[in-house]
Structure 1
Amino acid sequence: MKHSKKIAIFFSFIPGAGHMYLGLTKHGIQLMMLFFLTFGISVSTEIELIAAFLPIIWFYSVFDVRSKASGEEPLIDSDLKIFSSIGYENNFTKTNTAYKYLGYGFIFLGIAALVNNIIFPIVGQYVDYQFIRFTRSAFTSLFFIVIGFVLLRSKNRAILEKGDENSWGEDE
């Protein structure tokens, strides 16, 4: 079935809807779920940092629909890359890495929500607002620095231990 590129791009402004129009239902539902789950977590925890991922997901949806609608090859409804470890063959329970990352994510969200919604308001009664703003900025910056070091360390360890051909630093 030939799909209209203009209609597909129109629907793509709602993440996942353009994919569903093209017949990629699984891909569309996963994108929609990812976008609205990220939005819901951002609003419910009142952590603005999480909302920074919303434009990324939105732009991915628009540009992916645009490229798929203008392509001539047949469309294959597959999982998004971040959902690839959650297969129908129960891969999610076979590899504990998915559970580990999900657990780390929930721990981070819980700690961030606790600090943002309970600790900062209590401390705000006794400390100047500028100090709280400085502390929030320092906490966010340190978080990104630590995540960067962890990613670099795990990348190098994966290259040295496994010699995996899919690892990032192979061509370096």
Structure 2
Amino acid sequence: MQGFAFRHLLGRIAFLGALWVVLSGLEPKALAVGTVAVPAAVWLSLRLLPGPRHLAVWRALRHLPAFLGASLLGGLDVARRALSPRMPLAPGWVEVPVHLPDGGRVALGAELSLMPGTLAAGTRNDRLLIHLLDVNAGFEDAIPREEAAIAAMIDGEPAPREGG
């Protein structure tokens, strides 16, 4: 178990360190700040998502193109709605059942909030509260897919669904 914990720690350091470099670059000042920020992020991630669940970095990287593609399409949709003379909007709230551990719920909420037209605003029992720009756009179908992707990153298996 101790080997697993050490590999787990090294994996998080590598992932968050690489993420820091991608986001901030290789400037010496950015790297200096990263020497404090990355260990703090590792500590926080261990508090929010302790073992034995772990993040499979390769699964997270495999999900990245789909996330970026969905963000691009969502941004185009929001721009189309904003520039349309009719502004086809139907804002509202939905509650979606979520079967992830607390850290996974945080990750799902953060991912959904980065998607144009959606904002995760919290949880109620085992349900994620999401504000949508258009409640008729079918986001409720996409949210369980994102949940399954995050569950696969954490556990290697999709989250269990109701009735299945």
Q: Structure 1 length as normaliser, TM-score? A: 0.31
**Comparing both structures, which one devotes a greater share of its residues to helix?**
1
Q: Structure 2 length as normaliser, TM-score? A: 0.32
Mark the structure with the bigger radius of gyration.
Answer: 1
Higher RCO, Cα 8 Å, sep 6+: 2
**Comparing both structures, which one devotes a greater share of its residues to strand?**
2
